[in-house]
Amino acid sequence: MPQRKVAIVGMMSDKDSHGAFALVGPLFDEIITVAPQGHRSMPAQELAKVAAEFCPKVIPAGSCREALALAARARKEDGALIVCGSFYLAGEIRDMLLAKFGGKN
């Protein structure tokens, strides 16, 4: 089981971010927020304020590339990295994750 759990989260502004973080926020040691591409995206700073109610360490990132770099350092070798929130985020960060981690778990 991973010792440390880090999440990269991005959501659209019309979604229930408070409700989502109430469910998953306490599961993580650190959350990095990012605004996925698109006009409906919630800004990373705003999302970080919501996440901070439920997780002790939250950092807003300016891009998916920055979020991935922050998360890679935060999770350490024995940790897990989870990307969640918007399908827009998943599509945007997928190739970056494959390039960084390849077939590793």
Q: pLDDT tens, 55-69?
A: 999 999 999 999 999
The confidence band for 2, taking pLDDT boundaries of 50, 70 and 90, is low
Take residue 31 and report the two structure tokens written for it.
């959350």
Per-residue pLDDT reduced to its tens digit, 17-56: 999 999 999 999 999 999 999 899 999 999 999 999 999 9
Residue 1 neighbours by CB under 8 Å, 6+ apart = none
Residues in the chain: 105
Q: Which one is predicted more confidently, 48 or 97?
A: 48
